[in-house]
Amino acid sequence: MKRRDFLKTASTSIAGTGAVLAAPAVARAQETFSFKMTNAYPPNAPFYVSGPGSPTDFCKKVEVMSGGRLKIQHFAAGELIPALEGFDAVQSGTVEMNAANAYFWAGKIFAAQYFTTVPFGLNFQGMNAWLYSGGGLELWHELYKPLGLVAFPMGNTGVQMTGWFRKPINSVEDFKGLKMRIPGLAGKVYKELGVDVKLLPGGEIFPALERGVIDAAEFVGPFQDRRLGLQNAAKYYYTTGWHEPSNVTELLISLNAWEKLPKDLQEIVKVAAMACNLESHCWSEANNADALVDLVKNHGVQTNVLPKEIVAKLRSVTFGVLEAEAAKDPRTKKVHDAFMAFREKHRSWSSISEKPYHDDLA
Ligand code: CA
């Protein structure tokens, strides 16, 4: 049977069994949508803007999967609006979508922080387990619904590095008066240890570190940090990623625009975002591995693990900061309690599964 004849027969039989449903379904299937997506990161930034599993890749995936019925025009930071105005732009309906990290909105709504990362929070596996299978995504939707927004995970850097230090760090004392570039919640925690916290955009980290304006800096991980040239400004590269054990890219969508999409296009958006979440993480893992070898072998970089007493201090300060925030706002408390309960559950499972395996690899 020729394809056209088959389709004719198929549609006749659909019409025969459910004429009421068939007509609007056909009309909706032909309806096309044009969305705009802004992004908090600058043009061409690998992972954050371009490359496998990036926001521009998401736009492309959606267009292909929907046969062109949903087209999303992407604007990097500064191309339509400034970097951190995506939340307001989506909320006001200027654009339908934005790519960023939910913790950029922590000043507006602290609980958003938990949907990117919190210090001593969840790694990639744990975060996804919480979001997709542990009630996290439902909580995210519940938090954003009254704001006229909906969000999905659309990427993950994986574990980040503590950062770059011009001098070795041996004790909690060494943090006193240390000038460090570190944004967000981790900055708050370091402040409690006496760190002089500096907020600098990505592009200003290298010159500041090189000139000694700052003594230390955190950015992302080997691939992204090497792009900024941080290995040429400091040689001591510390781990663990206590401050960002993983980091979720947020696909933020106007609830109004989302509700206008037919179910199949909604599903395409969800599935494409989920694919990018996985693909971006795979890309990060592979590229970080290569970049770290290069940094150590060809740039004289020395990797170190933060001493245990420092990590223990950072952990106790972190929990104090998070509990204080949770006490201020019932929305934060609800997300905090759910996140911490899941963290505990995942920690006890991974301590008997992933951890012994990793320990044996060493
Ligand atoms: Ca970071």
Q: Supply the CATH number for residue 231's domain.
A: 3.40.190.10
Q: What's the CA gap between 165 and 83, in Å, rounded?
A: 28
| CATH number reported for the structural domain that contains residue 272 in this entry | 3.40.190.170
C-beta separation of 75 from 312 below 8 A: no
Question: What pLDDT was estimated at residue 183?
Answer: 86
Tens-digit pLDDT profile for residues 232-252:
999 999 999 999 999 999 999
Q: How far is the CA of 319 from the centre of ligand 1 (A)?
A: 19
Q: How far is the CA of 223 from the centre of ligand 1 (A)?
A: 12
Write out the chain's pLDDT in tens, 362 residues: 444 544 444 444 444 444 455 555 556 668 999 999 999 999 999 999 999 999 999 999 999 999 999 999 999 999 999 999 999 999 999 999 999 999 999 999 999 999 999 999 999 999 999 999 999 999 999 999 999 999 999 999 999 999 999 999 999 999 999 999 998 899 999 999 999 999 888 889 999 999 999 999 999 999 999 999 999 999 999 999 999 999 999 999 999 999 999 999 999 999 999 999 999 999 999 999 999 999 999 999 999 999 999 999 999 999 999 999 999 999 999 999 999 999 999 999 999 999 999 999 87
Last residue of a domain, one of 285, 311, 344: 285
Q: What's the CA gap between 179 and 187, in Å, rounded?
A: 11
Q: How far is the CA of 359 from the centre of ligand 1 (A)?
A: 25
Q: How far is the CA of 213 from the centre of ligand 1 (A)?
A: 19
Last residue of a domain, one of 226, 258, 285: 285
Task: State whether 128 and 140 are in the same domain.
Answer: yes
Question: What pLDDT was estimated at residue 9?
Answer: 45
State the Cα angle at 183 between 200 and 106, rounded to 5°.
125
Task: State whether 173 and 51 are in the same domain.
Answer: no
Q: What's the CA gap between 321 and 339, in Å, rounded?
A: 15
Q: Is residue 217 part of a domain?
A: yes
- What is the dihedral angle through the alpha carbons of 76, 77, 81, 83, rounded to the nearest 10 degrees? 140
Token code pair at residue 137 = 């995504």
Cα separation values, 77 from 25, 57, 80, 233, Å = 37, 16, 7, 26
Q: Is residue 68 part of a domain?
A: yes
Cα separation values, 171 from 236, 244, 304, 307, Å = 15, 21, 13, 7
In total, the chain counts a number of residues equal to 362
Q: How far is the CA of 197 from the centre of ligand 1 (A)?
A: 14
C-beta separation of 115 from 102 below 8 A: yes
Task: State whether 179 and 64 are in the same domain.
Answer: no
Task: State whether 45 and 91 are in the same domain.
Answer: yes
Query: Could you list the residue range(s) of the whole structural domain that residue 208 is in?
Result: 163-245+297-333
| Count: domains in the chain | 2
Q: How far is the CA of 244 from the centre of ligand 1 (A)?
A: 6
- The answer to whether the Cα torsion of 80, 81, 84, 85 is positive or negative is negative
Short-list 55, 158, 70, 157, CA closest to 100: 55
Q: How far is the CA of 284 from the centre of ligand 1 (A)?
A: 13
Last residue of a domain, one of 229, 255, 285: 285
C-beta separation of 175 from 235 below 8 A: no
Q: Is residue 260 part of a domain?
A: yes
- What is the H or E stretch that residue 238 is in? strand 236-239
Task: State whether 258 and 220 are in the same domain.
Answer: no
Task: State whether 111 and 34 are in the same domain.
Answer: yes
Q: What's the CA gap between 332 and 224, in Å, rounded?
A: 31
Question: What pLDDT was estimated at residue 201?
Answer: 83
Short-list 168, 188, 181, CA closest to 119: 188
Task: State whether 233 and 262 are in the same domain.
Answer: no
Q: Give 156-184 as a DSSP string.
A: E--SPP-EEESS---SGGGGTT-EEE--H
C-beta separation of 231 from 299 below 8 A: yes
Task: State whether 268 and 130 are in the same domain.
Answer: yes
